[in-house]
């Protein structure tokens, strides 16, 4: 059954004001529109319309850890955050390293029906770092996998990385690298290496462990003529490598997380595992470099790295707790607070880094499209004047490892539409 919605008086990209008619899954009309019979009316006075957000980096935990998140609950969190598509990382149990596993994630995403769930395929079997997974079969499957990553682990072996890049080039795929040289930052490294890690007695994770892998991978991308994507870039040195590689025309893209744009390493002083994440929170100099790089295009996208964890995996001594923090529901408010309120970016630029560019990186043809007549009606309405105090108990995620709890953030997501159908209205899910 087709439904029609008239969005009244939205400010498109924070610029000109217009009504949007959503019908048969597309934007049917833009302008000054009188209400068609039977149409739902959404008053968007004072709201900004942007294309639906696209997250290049989400952990949905299904299959294997449905106590932390499922494809359904993660989809809910995504919709509430203004997303219409997410890429679901492969580090599930079992790992998404076969066509069947990818199709299962894809189908569960379809069944949830709140956002487009695109599985990321593992680069290596079982994330083992040695044998390439079924990259071609995953791509040719119903899931059409185009993004491959061993995220959670680094593809540390240069020969394996080279072969993966050569392989995905054939079908225009991309390898998303969790850049962490294991010989410089091993599995227990959990605090930015510096004065603080020494004082706290926490194993250090130096920025150079990220930067050497990024430098190696851009050279491999140049050598193979293939595309590499840097997941969760976290240091000023990584930004320098990216700037240099892009100046040479190397096909590299990069993402930054909301938490690396705002939170700093000194939060670890209280040993609260909520702030334990990989890569670790960095000093203010790195945060400043990441913001500047996002504003000038050196970093292409914001990705959440939404990493839900059950209480019993997080509530441990800092060194033993799981790495990761929630992100989907708060990403846009964080970006608005850090980048827009400060004047570093416009809303149109937010649409670029949170929607159109991530969609292009992942090769999603029907997402991240401009708000124009005939385009798929994937969009989000944002209240730029709202302030919200984050309450982790109000989250629709199954997990509670929310680093923003108690913080005041600017802007809130009021409505999300997936192919014309509202998934969120008045800030709440339309379905329980
Ligand atoms: N970011 C994290 O700290 N954790 C991620 C893995 C990852 O993104 O490396 C997870 O799967 O929990
Ligand atoms: Zn990672
Ligand atoms: Zn991740």
pLDDT of residue 138: 98
Residues contacting residue 322 through CB under 8 Å, at least 6 positions apart: 273, 276, 309, 313, 314
| Whole-number Å distance between alpha carbons of 391 and 384 | 19
Please name which ligand lies nearest the alpha carbon of 152.
1
- State the average pLDDT over residues 408-417: 97
Mutation pick for ligand 1 pocket among 188, 210, 305, 318 (CB with most ligand atoms within 8 Å): 305
pLDDT of residue 268: 98
**pLDDT digits over 117-159, tens only?**
999 999 999 999 999 999 999 999 999 999 999 999 999 999 9
Given 19, 300, 305, 383, the catalytic residue:
305
Ligand 1 residue neighbourhood (C-beta within 6 Å): 59, 91, 151-152, 178, 277-278, 305, 307, 323-324
Residue 209 above 70 pLDDT?
yes
Does residue 305 have an active-site annotation?
yes
Identify the residue whose C-alpha is closest to ligand 1 atom 8.
152
Please name which ligand lies nearest the alpha carbon of 303.
3
> Which pair of tokens denotes residue 168?
């995905």
Residue percentage of the chain with pLDDT more than 90:
99
Q: Do residues 171 and 182 touch, judged by C-beta distance below 8 A?
A: no
Identify the residue whose C-alpha is closest to ligand 1 atom 6.
152
Place of tokens 């995620």: 397
DSSP collapsed to 3 states, 96-158:
CCCHHHHHHHHHHHHHHCCCEEEECECCEHHHCCCCECCHHHHHHCCCCCCEECCCCCCCCCH
pLDDT of residue 223: 98
**pLDDT digits over 22-38, tens only?**
999 999 999 999 999 99
Residue 1 above 80 pLDDT?
no
pLDDT of residue 431: 86
According to DSSP, residue 52 is labeled: P
**pLDDT digits over 265-276, tens only?**
999 999 999 999
Phi and psi, residue 321, nearest 5°: -70, 155
Identify the residue whose C-alpha is closest to ligand 1 atom 2.
324
In the three-class reduction of DSSP (H, G, I as helix; E, B as strand; rest coil), residue 196 is classed as helix
**pLDDT digits over 198-208, tens only?**
999 999 999 99
Cα of 99 to ligand 3 centre, how many Å?
21
CB atoms within 10 A of CB 53: 35
pLDDT of residue 3: 87
Residue 336 above 80 pLDDT?
yes
Cα of 31 to ligand 2 centre, how many Å?
43
Note the pTM of the prediction, 2 decimals.
Answer: 0.98
According to DSSP, residue 233 is labeled: -
Average pLDDT, the chain: 98
In the three-class reduction of DSSP (H, G, I as helix; E, B as strand; rest coil), residue 82 is classed as coil
Q: Across 316-376, where does the E strand assignment appear? A: none
| Whole-number Å distance between alpha carbons of 10 and 45 | 6
Cα of 331 to ligand 1 centre, how many Å?
16
Mutation pick for ligand 1 pocket among 57, 59, 179, 234 (CB with most ligand atoms within 8 Å): 59
Taken in order 404, 406, 409, 411, the sign of the CA dihedral is positive
Res. 317 pLDDT band, cuts 50 70 90 = very high
**pLDDT digits over 42-63, tens only?**
999 999 999 999 999 999 999 9
State which ligand 1 atom lies nearest to the alpha carbon of 307.
12
| Whole-number Å distance between alpha carbons of 289 and 79 | 30
Nearest to 122 by CA among 131, 133, 130: 133
Cα of 192 to ligand 3 centre, how many Å?
17
| Whole-number Å distance between alpha carbons of 171 and 66 | 32
| Whole-number Å distance between alpha carbons of 176 and 367 | 19
Helix axes 71-80, 99-112, angle to 10 degrees: 50
């Amino acid at each position: 059954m087709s439904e029609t919605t008239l969005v009244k008086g939205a400010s498109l990209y924070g610029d000109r004001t217009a009504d949007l008619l959503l019908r048969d899954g597309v934007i049917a009309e833009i302008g000054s529109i009188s209400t068609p019979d039977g149409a739902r009316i959404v008053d968007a006075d004072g709201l900004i319309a942007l294309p639906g957000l696209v997250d290049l980096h989400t952990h949905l935990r299904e299959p294997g850890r449905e106590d932390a998140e499922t494809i359904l609950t993660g989809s809910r969190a995504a919709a509430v955050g203004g997303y219409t598509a997410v890429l679901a990382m492969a580090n599930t149990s079992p790992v998404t390293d076969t066509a069947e596993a990818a199709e299962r994630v894809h189908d569960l995403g379809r069944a949830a029906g709140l956002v487009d769930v695109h599985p990321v395929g593992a680069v290596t079997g079982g994330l083992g770092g040695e044998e390439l997974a079924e990259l071609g079969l995953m791509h040719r499957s119903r899931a059409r996998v185009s993004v491959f990553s061993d995220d959670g682990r680094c593809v540390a072996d240069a020969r394996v990385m080279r072969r993966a890049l050569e392989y995905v080039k054939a079908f225009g795929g991309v390898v998303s690298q969790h850049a962490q040289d294991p010989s410089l930052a091993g599995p227990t490294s959990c605090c930015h290496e510096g004065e603080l890690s020494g004082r706290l007695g926490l194993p250090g994770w130096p920025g150079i462990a990220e930067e050497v892998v990024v430098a190696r991978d851009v050279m491999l991308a140049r050598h193979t003529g293939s595309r590499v994507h840097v997941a969760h870039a976290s240091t000023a040195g990584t930004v320098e490598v990216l700037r240099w590689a892009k100046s040479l025309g190397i096909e590299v893209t990069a993402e930054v997380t909301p938490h690396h744009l705002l939170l700093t390493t000194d939060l670890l002083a209280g040993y609260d595992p909520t702030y334990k994440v990989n890569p670790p929170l960095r000093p203010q100099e790195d945060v400043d470099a990441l913001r500047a790089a996002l504003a000038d295009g050196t970093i292409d996208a914001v990705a959440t790295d939404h990493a839900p964890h059950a209480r019993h995996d997080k509530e441990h001594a800092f060194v033993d707790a799981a790495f990761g923090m929630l992100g989907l529901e708060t990403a846009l408010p964080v970006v608005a607070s850090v980048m827009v309120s400060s004047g570093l970016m416009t809303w149109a630029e937010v649409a670029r880094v949170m929607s159109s560019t991530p969609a292009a990186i992942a090769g999603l043809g029907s997402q991240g499209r401009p708000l124009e007549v005939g385009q798929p009606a994937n969009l989000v309405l944002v209240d730029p004047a709202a302030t919200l105090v984050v309450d982790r108990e109000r989250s629709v995620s199954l997990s509670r490892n929310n680093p923003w709890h108690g913080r005041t953030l600017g802007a809130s997501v009021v409505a999300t539409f997936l192919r014309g159908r509202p998934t969120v209205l008045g800030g709440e899910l339309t379905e329980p």
